[in-house]
Amino acid sequence: MNRLALLLAGSAVLAVATITPASASTASAGEVDTVTSCGNSGLQSGLSTRLCAEVTGTTVEFYGTVGLAGPPSPGGPGPAPKELITTLSTEVVGSGAAPTQQIAHVLFTSANLQVRGSAATVPCGSTVRATFGVASFPWAPRPVAHEVVITC
């Protein structure tokens, strides 16, 4: 009878150990989660674009995404590669500092791509606004915008 009780107790401990998530025991108090938010999508140069922000504590990094605006034609060749000129501008609202601007030339084939800006640390309570523009001859950019408030 002792063997049976020992076996049942061991099985119960094993069952509880497999149900308890590992993160519950390994989380430390100093970790800060990254929160990602995205603005509305827009059409630029015949492509779907969107601007997103990753906020970790008081550090924010914006990135723009570019993808097909719809599914490619079935049975047809994929879309022709496009040379894109992307502009990612970021500013801390009310700081008086000039917006930072990054311009990149990228080649879009048909796979989604990201254009990342540089990360910046800003004071608590700041509002950070960014715009993402995509141009390709003969289309001018029609930038999408997104802003986040840094809460602490």
- Judged against a pLDDT cut of 60, whether residue 8 lies above it is answered with no
pLDDT digits (tens, 9 = 90+) for 39-70: 999 999 889 999 999 999 999 999 999 999 88
Q: How confident is the model at residue 71 (pLDDT cuts 50, 70, 90)?
A: confident
In a domain, 23, yes or no: no
Q: What is the pLDDT of residue 60?
A: 95
- Judged against a pLDDT cut of 90, whether residue 21 lies above it is answered with no
In a domain, 56, yes or no: yes
| Percent of the residues in the chain that have a pLDDT greater than 70, as a whole number | 78
Question: pTM of the entire structure?
Answer: 0.74
In a domain, 16, yes or no: no
Q: How confident is the model at residue 86 (pLDDT cuts 50, 70, 90)?
A: very high
In a domain, 11, yes or no: no
3-state SS assignment for residue 18: helix
In a domain, 58, yes or no: yes
In a domain, 49, yes or no: yes
Number of domains in the chain: 1
In a domain, 21, yes or no: no
Q: Is the peptide bond before 138 cis (omega within 30 degrees of 0)?
A: yes
Q: Which two tokens stand for residue 134?
A: 């995509």
Report d(CA 56, CA 42) in Å as an integer: 26
Return the CATH number at 51: 2.60.40.10
In a domain, 128, yes or no: yes
State the DSSP H helix or E strand holding residue 11, giving kind and residue range, or none if neither.
helix 2-19
Domain that holds residue 83: 31-149
